[in-house]
Amino acid sequence: MARPLIADIDLDALRHNYRLARDLAPHSRAVAVLKADGYGHGAVACARALADIAPAFAVACIEEAVTLREAGIARPIVLLEGIFEPAELDQVEALGLWMTVHSDWQLEALLARRPARPIPVWVKVDSGMHRLGFPLERAEAVWQRLAAAPAHACDLHLMSHFATADLVDTGYFRRQMARLAALGERLGAPLCLANSPATLAWPEAHGAWNRPGVMLYGSDPLELANAASRRLEPVMTLRSELIAVRELPAGEPVGYGGRWLTPRPSRIGVVAAGYGDGYDRHAVDGTPVLVAGQRTAIAGKVSMDMLTVDLTAIPEADIGSEVVLWGRAANGRVLSVDEVARHCDTISYTLLTGVLPRVPRRYHGGHSGTAPR
């Protein structure tokens, strides 16, 4: 009998979330972001599930694009960080990729090359994130150089990234947006600005293209949920089972270091899941889980291959009972990965991308078939 820990991937939920991103911005196109192996969900399977409704995909690097092309994904693919060395332009051209240009050396490498066909380019501008991108005061000159080189670059777009679109305090977002709107108007440039939170909450940021990422996988990136983000559906359910049940008297320590003491005579369940699978070791006592579709909590430190939960209030739970670490239980009840992340003092991105390869992915719905990891 196989170890029961599975990451169930609901491709119909993925398609629902993509359609939501698209419908929130009916005058924009939505590039589906598949970096980090589709945020841990399997980039190839997700691309296949979205291929008939998403006009383009986005990844972080050449290696991720190669994986998609080798799997037969023919849609345009945007390199969000561009190239990492000039030699990668060979693959950009051979694979028909779209390229972000965010720094001088990338610009010079592109203009020094004579491609067989011009390469679609998205010019990244630093409007306040202060990570990648040309300074605002230099962006116009960069744009003009590329516009004057139609044999090298085509289909130019202006791109930037918001630092605070997820927050309730909108002051910094609005300053970034004002700078970008003014630059875009001066250049007559089509824009690609909106990440997941801006797609969900800021229609003024919707451009020629939007870049929904974590929202596609059912995670709400907003500091306070809104009507749109409440419509997101979980794509990954991290599901296991109870493999042992212990009856302990009051005052007994559970797990490494005895961090949790039984406050009363207690039933403790042992779950086949741990930090060796990617479940966060920083989960505190009280981190929610669903056992047999009912809410309970972690009791004691997470181990490499196991974790322990309090079953005292769920007398029917026993060996073989379903345990949902996040996602949707068999009875339909949902435990948000965002809520689990808060108990781990982290964000959903780290939990989703951190599920390790030893956890099998099982795909349902969409065009999944037997889609590979």
- Would 228 be classed as within a structural domain? no
- Mean pLDDT (whole number) for 33-43: 98
Same domain, 122 and 202: yes
Same domain, 179 and 323: no
Same domain, 210 and 241: no
* SS3 assignment for the chain: CCCCCEEEEEHHHHHHHHHHHHHHCCCCEECEECHHHHHCCCHHHHHHHHCCCCCCEEECCHHHHHHHHHCCCCCCEEECCCCCCHHHHHHHHHHCCEEEECCHHHHHHHHCCCCCCCEEEEEEEECCCCCCCEEHHHHHHHHHHHHCCCCCEEEEEEECCCCCCCCCCCHHHHHHHHHHHHHHHHHCCCEECCCHHHHHHCHHHCCCEECCCHHHHCCCCCCCCCCCHHHCCCCEEEEEEEEEEEEECCCCEECHHHCEECCCCEEEEEECCCHHHCCCCCCCCCCEEEECCEEEEECCCCCCCCEEEECCCCCCCCCCCEEEEEEECCCCCEECHHHHHHHCCCCHHHHHHCCCCCCCEEEECCCCCCCCC
Summarised one tens digit per residue, pLDDT across range 207-248 is 999 999 999 999 999 999 999 999 999 999 999 999 999 999
- Would 162 be classed as within a structural domain? yes
Residue 370: per-residue pLDDT: 36
The confidence band for 366, taking pLDDT boundaries of 50, 70 and 90, is confident
Q: What is the pTM of this model?
A: 0.96
Question: Annotated catalytic residue: which of 18, 35, 275, 349?
Answer: 35
Q: Which of 217, 249, 269 is the last residue of a domain?
A: 217
Same domain, 246 and 202: no
Is the pLDDT confidence value at 266 over 70? Answer: yes
Same domain, 160 and 60: yes
Could you tell me the CATH number of the domain that includes residue 243?
2.40.37.10
Residue 367: per-residue pLDDT: 61
Range of the domain at 292: 236-364
Same domain, 359 and 252: yes
Same domain, 208 and 240: no
Is the pLDDT confidence value at 294 over 50? Answer: yes
Residue 349 designated active-site: no
Same domain, 212 and 243: no
Same domain, 211 and 243: no
Residue 277: per-residue pLDDT: 98
Same domain, 68 and 211: yes
Residue 373: per-residue pLDDT: 27
Q: Which of 169, 188, 217 is the last residue of a domain?
A: 217
Summarised one tens digit per residue, pLDDT across range 155-197 is 999 999 999 999 999 899 999 999 999 999 999 999 999 999 9
Is the pLDDT confidence value at 368 over 80? Answer: no
Beta bridge partners of 364: 10
- Mean pLDDT (whole number) for 26-35: 98
Same domain, 184 and 311: no
The confidence band for 1, taking pLDDT boundaries of 50, 70 and 90, is low
Residue 256 designated active-site: yes
- Would 230 be classed as within a structural domain? no
In 3D space, the residue among 64, 30, 16, 4 whose CA is nearest the CA of residue 235 turns out to be 16
Could you tell me the CATH number of the domain that includes residue 44?
3.20.20.10
Mean pLDDT for the chain overall: 96
Residue 278: per-residue pLDDT: 98
Number of domains comprising the chain:
2
Residue 353: per-residue pLDDT: 98
Question: Annotated catalytic residue: which of 18, 39, 124, 256?
Answer: 256
- Would 369 be classed as within a structural domain? no
Summarised one tens digit per residue, pLDDT across range 309-338 is 999 999 999 999 999 999 999 999 999 999
Report the amino acid identity of residue 320: G
Residue 286: per-residue pLDDT: 98
Residue 107: per-residue pLDDT: 98
- Would 227 be classed as within a structural domain? no
The confidence band for 372, taking pLDDT boundaries of 50, 70 and 90, is very low
- Would 21 be classed as within a structural domain? yes
